[in-house]
Amino acid sequence: MGAYTAQIDSGTSTSTLRIAGAARAAVLFLEEARCCVQIVFLMRFLAGAAVCAGGSLAGVGPELIAPGVCWVLATLFTYGINGVSDVQEDRLNRTGRPIARGDLSPRAAARLTWTAAAGSVVTALACGNATLLAFDLAFLLIGYAYSAAPFQLKRSAAGTSGSVLLMGLLTYAAGWTAAGEGRPSGSVLVLATAMSLWMCVVGAVTKDFSHVRGDAAAGRRTSVTAWGDGTARLVGGVGALLIAGGFLSVAWHGVALLVPPAVVLAAGAVVVAVLCWTTRGDAARGRTPYRAFMVTQHLVHVTLFAGLVLSA
């Protein structure tokens, strides 16, 4: 009887440990996929739905839950496979993410990555929206091609920026199609274009400032390793100001809903431009231009949502 009880206790303990291990792996996977990036992709998706619905939160309801889950799973796949593919580079760049620091095995991360991809496709199919499914498959394909062999678009500045631009546009497009709207409105086209260019020109360049060691070791021709640090910083800073200025000009002359977000982007662009210049040669502050880029795009979307709430 004692032996039998011991077996039950042992089995229960093993099961509990497995569940705890799986839960811990899932949490670490979310960290690897960069929660701040996941949040902003969801904000882009919701912005596409809200702005396309005539600038109203009426288009953001329970019917967006399943499409939203589909898109979150797709972005988890994209950043998960990036972490699995970039282990050596991330260690050299000292990113401190779970795989690089040895807390999450690449094999476990890969399983979660492909589970997310499968879940995204299944959810898109369940939504019964053929356009959303097409956008989802395109996003997954670009996410895979960006990081994994034989494509590895991340190896060149053009491949990186092009991939990021398309993923941004697809996310806003997925939002408006999930909201049941037909042709996208002018306002959502302006928002999607401006913020996708912000990702393409500013984010894709400033992220390279702190990744030089790993990128060079991997033979990548990124903005910094291909153009040089000074040119890359010029492109990132001037690009930020030009995109923000263009967005503000278009919003000011015809899209009142987007004026407050455009003002926020302009302020953030000034900060990014200043940091691109003042952190040159400062390894300790190498990530600050990218952080300013990231904070700015979060604030742009928060400002947009706040305006929608106040105008409701």
Q: Note the pLDDT of residue 17.
A: 79
pLDDT in tens, 87-99: 888 888 888 899 9
Q: Is residue 9 part of a domain?
A: no
* Nearest one of 146, 143, 150, 149 to 116, comparing CA atoms: 143
Q: Is residue 12 part of a domain?
A: no
Q: Is residue 19 part of a domain?
A: no
Q: Is residue 5 part of a domain?
A: no
Q: Is residue 296 part of a domain?
A: yes
Could you please report the per-residue DSSP string of 240-280?
HHHHHHHHHHHHHTT-GGGHHHHHHHHHHHHHHHHHHHHTT
Instruction: Note down the domain range covering 256.
Output: 28-311
pLDDT in tens, 20-38: 888 899 999 999 999 999 9
Task: Output the average pLDDT for the chain.
Answer: 90
* Nearest one of 291, 53, 28 to 191, comparing CA atoms: 53
Q: Domain total for the chain? A: 1
pLDDT in tens, 243-301: 999 999 999 998 999 999 999 999 999 999 999 999 987 766 889 999 999 999 999 99
Query: Span 192-216, mean pLDDT?
Result: 94
* Nearest one of 89, 34, 58 to 216, comparing CA atoms: 89
- pLDDT grade, residue 59 (50/70/90)? low
Q: Is residue 150 part of a domain?
A: yes
Q: Note the pLDDT of residue 124.
A: 97
Identify whether 261 is preceded by a cis peptide bond (ω within 30 of 0).
Answer: no
What's the CA angle centered on 248, arms 245 and 250, to 5 degrees? Answer: 105
CB count within 10 Å of CB 282 equals 11
Q: Is residue 46 part of a domain?
A: yes
CA-CA distances (angstroms) from residue 163 to 24, 42, 138, 160, 182?
31, 18, 11, 5, 25
The SS3 assignment for 211 reads coil
Q: Is residue 32 part of a domain?
A: yes
